[in-house]
């Protein structure tokens, strides 16, 4: 999990604008698990063998990076780039759950991290409604 966090953070730190940092982090996350499929299997095994744990290791590490990302999302809300009625934690959880599930789906179905990354970014940033109806 530390290696995953380092990969995601390193990719994000190379970017200067918040939306590009977020995008780089999502891509690094999906690529990490594509390149390290054994890590996906370990997450599955941890849940199977240690289901009585209150918080799985993955979520413990995710929570450790929460404050860093909360600041990025908060600045986007404060600057009016994101709807103000959305709570930062809702956004963070929504996107985190989306990429977490995508990581498993990619692993199980052999989907490309790059392809799924592009779809996530497009729909997350542009929505599903045509521009004229938004």
Output the pLDDT for position 54: 85
Asked whether the CA dihedral 50, 51, 52, 57 is positive or negative, the reply is positive
Q: In whole angstroms, give the CA distance from residue 96 to residue 12.
A: 15
What are the structural domain ranges in the chain? 2-133
Tokens 């095994």 found at: 45
2-133 carries CATH number 1.10.357.10: yes
User: pLDDT at position 52, please?
Assistant: 87
Q: Over the stretch 62-115, which tens digit does the pLDDT of each residue have? A: 888 888 899 999 999 999 999 999 999 999 999 999 999 999 999 999 999 999
What does the pLDDT read at residue 133? Answer: 80
Q: What is the pLDDT of residues 21-71, one digit of tens each?
A: 999 999 999 999 999 999 999 999 998 899 888 888 888 888 888 888 999
Provide the pLDDT for residue 114.
96
């Amino acid at each position: 999990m530390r290696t995953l966090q380092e990969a995601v953070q390193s990719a994000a730190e190379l970017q200067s604008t918040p939306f590009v940092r977020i995008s780089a982090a999502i891509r690094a996350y999906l690529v990490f698990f594509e390149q390290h499929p054994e890590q996906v299997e370990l997450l599955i095994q941890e849940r199977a063998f240690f289901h009585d744990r209150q918080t799985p290791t993955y979520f413990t590490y995710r929570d450790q990076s929460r404050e860093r990302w909360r600041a990025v999302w908060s600045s986007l809300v404060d600057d009016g780039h994101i709807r103000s009625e959305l709570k930062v934690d809702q956004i963070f959880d929504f996107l985190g759950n989306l990429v977490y599930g995508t990581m498993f789906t990619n692993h199980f179905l052999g989907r490309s991290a790059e392809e799924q990354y592009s779809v996530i970014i497009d729909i997350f940033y542009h929505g599903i409604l045509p521009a004229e109806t938004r």
